[in-house]
Amino acid sequence: DVQMTQSPSSLSASVGDRVTITCRASRSISSYLNWYQQKPGKAPKLLISSASSLQSGVPSRVSGSGSATDFTLTISSLQPEDFATYYCQQSYTTPWTFGQGTKVEIK
Amino acid sequence: EVQLVESGGGLVQPGGSLRLSCAASGFTFGDYWMHWVRQAPGKGLVWVSRINGDGSSTNYAVSVKGRFTISRDNAKNTLYLQMNSLRAEDTAVYYCATDVGGPWFGEFSLDSWGLGTLVTVSS
């Protein structure tokens, strides 16, 4: 299986901060990398597919980059609605695998 | 509007069986890969299984292979997950999901999710 490792596991940040979450794959997954946001009690929401393609309706302050084994999710100016847990997920091969999640909390 | 509505969850004893259903609407169901993803209480997301549009291809997580069976009825626009030999570690909210907004018919990402159904395995 391809192991996905996110860092950090959690972070505290203030509104307006720039936030970066890293995801590393145990082997190359090309650009088959997706990012999801999940709020408590809710289903996940797809933010970015194919490493850098922003989904419709997702604000432009959110961006994704990377390829092969190293990927990044960046929120350029954190807003109150961005406090949530974020997951990366590879779809290069089955079984699909998710990172363990990064919880973004209010400082 | 795309809707995915899971049902069939509940309390089951270890070793028991349960069948989950996911009723789909708002898109051409038979064109899309469909997936099950689960989340244990307070834990992260875990992909469980997927099935292609005509049901001819399926994949499973190692942890459920041989115990769970994914299937679909395109005439009824419904996805199923038959879960046998259930264990305490199968306790989770089970989501069905697909991707109707992208170009790959759910093969590579998940943009549409149901609300989930809770499965609790306990004696």
Contact B111 A32 (CB under 8 A): no
Tokens of A14: 């203030």
- Given a cut of 70, the residues of chain B with pLDDT beneath it are none
Distance CA B60, CA B66 (A): 9
Structure-token match 């469909």, residue found:
B34
- Give the Å distances, CA to CA, from B32 to A44, B17, B79, B96: 19, 27, 11, 12
pLDDT score, position B103: 86
Residue A24: partners with Cβ closer than 8 Å, 6 or more residues away: A4, A5, A6, A7, A69, A70, A71
Return the closest-CA partner of residue B81 out of B91, B72, B89, B90.
Answer: B72
pLDDT score, position A64: 98
Distance CA B24, CA B32 (A): 11
Q: Which of A43, A56, A96 has the CB atom closest to B95's CB atom?
A: A43
The runs of H, that is alpha helices, within chain A are none
B41: cis peptide before it, omega within 30°? no
Residues of chain B found within 8 Å of residue A55, distances taken between Cβ atoms: 101, 111
Tokens of B12: 């089951």
CA distance to partner chain A, nearest, from residue B97 (Å): 10
Contact A32 B62 (CB under 8 A): no
CA distance to partner chain B, nearest, from residue A17 (Å): 25
Number of cross-chain residue pairs from A and B with Cβ atoms under 8 Å apart? 61
Task: Assess whether pLDDT exceeds 90 at residue A4.
Answer: yes
Kind and range of the H or E run holding B18: strand B18-25
In this predicted model, what pLDDT tens digit does every residue of A69-82 receive, in sequence order?
999 999 999 999 99
Q: Which of B50, B109, B114 has the CB atom closest to A43's CB atom?
A: B114
CA distance to partner chain B, nearest, from residue A80 (Å): 22
pLDDT score, position B104: 87
Residues of chain A found within 8 Å of residue B106, distances taken between Cβ atoms: none
Residues of chain A found within 8 Å of residue B110, distances taken between Cβ atoms: 34, 36, 44, 46
Q: How many CA atoms lie within 13 A of B56 on its CB side?
A: 2
pLDDT score, position B111: 94
In this predicted model, what pLDDT tens digit does every residue of B80-101 receive, in sequence order?
999 999 999 999 999 999 998 8
pLDDT score, position A60: 97
